[in-house]
Amino acid sequence: MSTTFPAGFLFGTATASYQIEGGVHEDGRGPSIWDTFSHTPGKVAHGDTGDVACDHYHRLDDDLDLMASLGVDAYRFSIAWPRIQPTGRGAANRAGLDFYERLVDGLLGRGIRPVATLYHWDLPQPLQDAGGWAQRDTAYALADYAAIVGDALGDRVAEWTTLNEPWCSAFLGYGSGVHAPGVTDPVSALCAAHHLNLAHGLALQALRARVRDDARFSVALNLHVVRPDRPDDAGDVDAARQIDAVGNRVFTGPMLEGGYPDDLLADTAAVTDWAFVHDGDLADIHQPLETIGINYYSTSRVRRWDGTGSNNHSAGHNASTASPWPGADTVQFLPQPGPHTEMGWNIDPSGLYELLMRMHREHPQQSLLVTENGAAFADAVTDADGSPAVHDADRVDYLRRHLTVVAQAIADGADVRGYFAWSLLDNFEWAYGYEKRFGLVRVDFDTLERTPKDSARWYAGLARTHELDA
Ligand code: FCB
């Protein structure tokens, strides 16, 4: 059986600046919170840092040729704020802009559509020194940065994403502290979530005023698929509702509906009175948006915690004693049955289908993009007549199964316009360092040699034919 994707459907790959670029001191780039965090002992596995990463900064042309050889339609990348404004404020650094102009021109010259993400977690360190996302000014700073980027690239980039996974920025960065800047404070986490929402709305306004008229805007959310362990148990159902509120609707509420959900405000009332939401903020946040970007990897299962054992609140993320779920201390996360990827994340394509259909139902005016989906596996490198090869049948299977449900969602009416495999390259997987490999293309981190895996060839075939063989 084969499934055909619509003609205009975009098959892309995705990366993020800090995860692949390296060149952290090149051409006037300033430090980001991930430079500081990764250089702090104990924060990242094996003491890995993004100093060199895939050295993409110095290998841009080769990586562009690699993408062209795969024949993908689109490339989702992020712009490193500290290359554009080394301190997070003030005049643009021309050399930083030049890099992204070369990237965009190189993509367009090869017939690949650029999809630019403004912010994928590399906040300039001086802004963190002033409070980071817990500080309101940071939202205005992001809008100033957006204006600079919009002026430079807005004539050529027609697809923009404001933020990548603000949930991770706010709740892993300021709640459980397993991501930079490593703060563990529930009030700061909620405050950061609001300031990220505000940053999204202000940046959207700044970009929209400058870039080409046909540009489309999105935000990439890692929406959580949370299922009650016992669907007929009111406590478990309410636990799932609570995680949906502080994991999903804390962003979709203000961005797409103009307000924070009442149940979220009630659940978190003991943590904060939300006085950091000022008059006018919700109007600034609730801006027209063409697309919801969905980053999807796995599902979660919750119960109302009876207080025994652990509530396992860091399930799916690096272990921390601090919770990434403010106001949800009585929710317990259960281990998920397998199969699992190398991240320990359960493989469940039905969660992606559920999310796409939910967003389609609840927000019919927005089109959808799967802005990330993919899997880390323990790739074995074999020798094929003197050159390395990676036969990653497990990754091909993961991608095929998830793309099958994307096709199903389209058949069932969801307006899904594209899919971006995470990731083009093996790269710096945040607090896990280089140990978890998500790439369609293998990177040898000693020699920096690139080797397309079987999954890359499989994906290239799909991008060419739009036919998915079951
Ligand atoms: C997402 C991030 C991305 C990558 C994948 C595996 O949370 O957006 O940078 O690390 O997970």
What pLDDT does residue 317 have?
85
Query: In the structure encoding, which two tokens stand for residue 54, read together?
Result: 């895939």
Q: Is the beta carbon of 420 within 6 A of some atom in ligand 1? A: no
Gap from CA of 77 to ligand 1 centroid (Å): 12
The total of other beta-carbon atoms located within 10 Å of residue 189's CB is 31
Percent of the chain whose predicted confidence (pLDDT) is above 90: 97
pLDDT tens, 52-78?
999 999 999 999 999 999 999 999 999
* Nearest ligand 1 atom, CA 343: 6
**Residue 134 and residue 156: Cα distance in Å, rounded?**
33
Domains of the chain: 2-469 (3.20.20.80)
Is 70 exceeded by the pLDDT of residue 420? yes
pLDDT digits (tens, 9 = 90+) for 142-199: 999 999 999 999 999 999 999 999 999 999 999 999 999 999 999 999 999 999 999 9
The end-to-end CA distance of the chain, in Å, is: 5
Catalytic residue among 21, 165, 354, 429: 165
Structure confidence by residue, pLDDT tens digits, 262-303: 999 999 999 999 999 999 999 999 999 999 999 999 999 999
From the CB of 16, is ligand 1 less than 6 Å away? Answer: yes
Going from the Cα of 222 to the center of ligand 1, the distance in angstroms, rounded, reads 9
As a whole number of angstroms, the distance between CA 48 and CA 211 comes to 37
Compute the distance from residue 233 Cα to the ligand 1 centre, in Å. Answer: 33
CA angle 185, 19, 440 (to 5 degrees): 125
pLDDT in tens, 192-247: 999 999 999 999 999 999 999 999 999 999 999 999 999 999 999 999 999 999 99
Report the alpha-carbon angle 313-316-320, nearest 5.
50
DSSP string, 392-436: -HHHHHHHHHHHHHHHHHHHTT--EEEEEEE-SB----GGGGGGS
pLDDT digits (tens, 9 = 90+) for 333-373: 999 999 999 999 999 999 999 999 999 999 999 999 999 99
d(CA 243, CA 312) in angstroms, rounded, equals 13
Nearest-CA residue for atom 2 of ligand 1? 165
Q: 198, 260 in Cβ contact below 8 A? A: no
Catalytic: 26? no
CA of 386 to the centre of ligand 1 (A): 33
Mutate which of 15, 430, 437, 440 for ligand 1 pocket (most atoms within 8 A of beta carbon): 430
Rg (CA), the chain: 21
pTM tops 0.95, yes or no: yes
User: Rounded to the nearest 10 degrees, what angle do helices 454-465 and 60-70 cross at?
Assistant: 60
Token couple for 363: 């927000």
Q: What does the pLDDT read at residue 318?
A: 86
Cβ of residue 162 lying under 6 Å from some atom of ligand 1: no
Q: What is the pLDDT of residues 373-383, one digit of tens each?
A: 999 999 999 98
Please tell me the predicted confidence (pLDDT) of residue 1: 67
Whether 467 is a known active-site residue: answer: no
Q: What is the pLDDT of residue 418?
A: 98
Question: DSSP letters of 1-69?
Answer: -EEE--TTPEEEEE--HHHH---TTGGGPPPBHHHHHHTSTTSSGGG--SSSTT-GGG-HHHHHHHHHH
Is the pLDDT score of 470 beyond 80? no
Tokens of 433: 């360092």
Q: Which atom of ligand 1 is nearest to the CA of 427?
A: 10
Is the pLDDT at 384 greater than 90? The verdict is no
Cβ of 164 closer than 6 Å to ligand 1, yes or no, is: yes
Cα 435 to averaged position of ligand 1 atoms, centre (Å): 14
Q: Is 295 in the pocket of ligand 1 (CB under 6 A)?
A: yes
Per-residue pLDDT band for 469 (boundaries 50, 70, 90) equals confident
Average pLDDT, the chain: 98
In this prediction, residue 453 carries a pLDDT of 98
pLDDT in tens, 385-396: 889 999 999 999
Banded pLDDT at 129 (limits 50, 70, 90): very high
* Ligand 1 proximity of 372 Cβ (cutoff 6 Å): yes
